[in-house]
Amino acid sequence: MVSTYRLRTDGNRAFDITDEISAAVAASGVREGIAVVSLPHTTASVGIISFPDPLGLIDVMDEVARLVPTRIDFKHQHDTPQDAAGHIKSTIIGTTMSLIVSAGTLLMGHSQKVYFMEHDGPRQRQFHVQVVGR
Amino acid sequence: MVSTYRLRTDGNRAFDITDEISAAVAASGVREGIAVVSLPHTTASVGIISFPDPLGLIDVMDEVARLVPTRIDFKHQHDTPQDAAGHIKSTIIGTTMSLIVSAGTLLMGHSQKVYFMEHDGPRQRQFHVQVVGR
Amino acid sequence: MVSTYRLRTDGNRAFDITDEISAAVAASGVREGIAVVSLPHTTASVGIISFPDPLGLIDVMDEVARLVPTRIDFKHQHDTPQDAAGHIKSTIIGTTMSLIVSAGTLLMGHSQKVYFMEHDGPRQRQFHVQVVGR
């Protein structure tokens, strides 16, 4: 029932995954319900961002990096500073999201798309979509 | 099945939408399940905030504005700086939220209410509520 | 149908609640669906954090405290400054979370665990888990 999708991130930016989520909704056959997107990672997050201006996507990623800077004084020292900062961004923004399914499709605003936000790329990644309803 | 509500925001503050969500839950007839609130906007967000002290609502909005200041150096220049900052606040806090429905009503804490957080008002806005369960 | 769990927080840190959520999923009998975790509090939050390095948990809590410092100039003055700051952290990170249930268990990454993040402890706390699906 769960749909799983893979992607290769080429760096720390936002990747549009709306089409994959829409495909999972269509495959589920659910007309009225809820879709949950979940990333099994701890240095990435899922967010809805305004898509018409691609520069706005860069602003979001830049601002998240400004709020939680990559630096060398984290207690977590097993991995790189980018990884340590990524864990924090991932928790604050979140790795799961609920979306409304109505009339068999995602109910979203005309400027909204769902993005896989990479905070420790490049990496091989994946995400899951589960749909419930009827 | 989806309930849609409209509101007119008079500025950048938090608007209590708990009653509308409760009405959508009641209308659904679901006794045990989940309600998802979703905003179709990219410069607003949905959050649970402590309501007994109205000054606390101002603190939350002020702090979000302090963390993501409205300024003129965003790459996104199609719209106002308030709009550019609003996109980022919207993504970080989020435009969707899942709530538990139990015994036919929202299961929430005695100090919790759900708020539509406006980051680029005044504007004509809306939000959707979908309920699943039985 | 809702499972409720209690915990006593001994201070402002992250408490692993993954086992309790897994128990609620098992008790529900749901094989394919969604679990929603909800905290009825306004000075705590729920987050997924990387667990292999316990120092990383401290980093997340420290960083959240750096972003929203406990200070005396909040408008909310009914309670302690720690409480006022906690309200803001709670709203930004969130008090609810959706998780995917598949094959009768939580579908999560190998480094992910779900944490109750205490921002105003020590306190007596609780959280709820609702599961929908089939």
Residue B133: strand pairing partners: B33
- Quickly tell me which residue has 């990623």 as its tokens: A61
Average pLDDT over residues C67-83: 94
Q: What is the pLDDT of residue B43?
A: 98
Whether residue A121 contacts residue B51, with contact meaning beta carbons closer than 8 Å, is answered with no
Partner-chain contact A39 C102, CB within 8 Å? no
Q: Which residues of chain A have pLDDT under 50?
A: none
- Which is nearest to A82 in space by CA: A69, A64, A63, A95? A69
Task: Choose among A84, A92, A128: nearest Cβ to C100.
Answer: A128
ipTM above 0.95, yes or no: yes
Interval A86-111: pLDDT, tens: 999 999 999 999 999 999 999 999 99
Task: Name the residue among A1, A108, A120, A37 with its Cα closest to residue C97.
Answer: A37
Q: Containing H/E element for C21? A: helix C18-28
- The pTM score is 0.98
Any C CB within 8 A of B88 CB: no
Token representation of residue C104: 């009768």
The answer to whether B2 contacts A60, with C-beta atoms less than 8 Å apart, is: no
Q: Chain B residues with CB inside 8 Å of A90's CB? A: none
Residues of chain B positioned with their CB less than 8 A from the CB of C67: 67
Structure tokens given for B50? 């402590």
How many interchain CB pairs under 8 A, A with B? Answer: 100
User: How many CB contacts within 8 angstroms connect chain B with chain C?
Assistant: 99
- The reported pLDDT for the residue numbered B118 is 98
Distance CA A48, CA A42 (A): 18
Q: What is the pLDDT of residue B90?
A: 98
Digit-coded pLDDT (tens) for B10-66: 999 999 999 999 999 999 999 999 999 999 999 999 999 999 999 999 999 999 999
Q: How many CB atoms sit inside 10 A of residue C16's CB?
A: 13
Q: Is the pLDDT of residue B1 over 90?
A: no
Mean pLDDT of B68-96: 95
pLDDT above 90: residue C1:
no
| Residue A30 phi, psi dihedral angles, 5° rounding | -75, 135
Position A133: which residue type? G
How far is it, in rounded angstroms, from Cα B23 to Cα B19? 6
Peptide bond into C122 cis (omega under 30): yes
Residues of C in contact with A66 (CB under 8 A): none
Is C16's Cβ below 8 Å from some Cβ in A?
Answer: no
Comparing alpha-carbon positions, the chain B residue that sits nearest to A91 is B92
Cα B121–Cα B23–Cα C21 angle in degrees, nearest 5: 90
Mean pLDDT (chain B) is 97
Q: What is the CA radius of gyration of chain C?
A: 16
Q: Does A123 touch chain C (CB under 8 A)?
A: no
